[in-house]
Amino acid sequence: MNQKRDLIQILIFQLLTVPAVIFIFKFIEPRQIAALLASFTFISFGVFGLFKITKWPAFKWDILFWLFCIHLLVISLPTLFVRLLNWSSDFATLHIFSIPAPVFHKLSERFAMIMMVVVLIKIYRLRSPKAG
């Protein structure tokens, strides 16, 4: 188990997720299919993160474990389910946990930034001590 390597892989996955989703929405029609693929991209990020973190000792006490649980169970999966249940509706008209979907989407972006900051802090804390 190499926590630093896992964190770097998580960070790379997260950094690649944004351009991947932009690419999906730019080139895939209809938008419902693009949204479905984007949702699976975010869900795969969450699953990947949990897969890595659950190999760590005492992972249940690690903030990242809980952030990834929230990412999957409170953000990504509910967004996917709302989109699937309202397939023909415009995203702007939907609500997720009684929050307008565009507002929920903005909150999820901020949550992703929090996750990235936590990963960066953890990588920084695991840096190798400099010689001399």
User: Two tokens at 57?
Assistant: 């000792």
State the pLDDT at residue 60: 95
Instruction: Indicate if the pLDDT at residue 132 is higher than 60.
Output: no
CA 81 to CA 97: how far, in whole Å?
Answer: 12
pLDDT in tens, 85-131: 999 999 999 999 999 999 999 999 999 999 999 999 999 999 876 64
With the CA atoms of 32, 33, 37 and 42 taken in that order, what torsion angle do they form, in degrees rounded to the nearest 10? 0
Residue corresponding to tokens 């949990």: 50
Mean pLDDT calculated for residue range 9-31 = 96
> Each residue of 95-126: b (16+ CB within 10 Å) or e?
ebeeeebeebbeebeeebeebeeebeebbeee
Alpha helices by DSSP H, 1-132: 3-27, 31-53, 63-70, 77-85, 101-125
pLDDT category of residue 1 using cuts at 50, 70 and 90? confident
pTM: 0.91
**What pLDDT sits at residue 131?**
45
| Spatial CA neighbour of 25 closest among 9, 43, 41 | 41
Please calculate the CA angle 17-90-84 and round it to the nearest 5 degrees.
65
Amino acid letter, 50: L
If pLDDT is split at 50, 70 and 90, which confidence band does 26 have?
very high
Segment 45-91, tens digit of pLDDT: 999 999 999 999 999 999 999 999 999 999 999 999 999 999 999 99
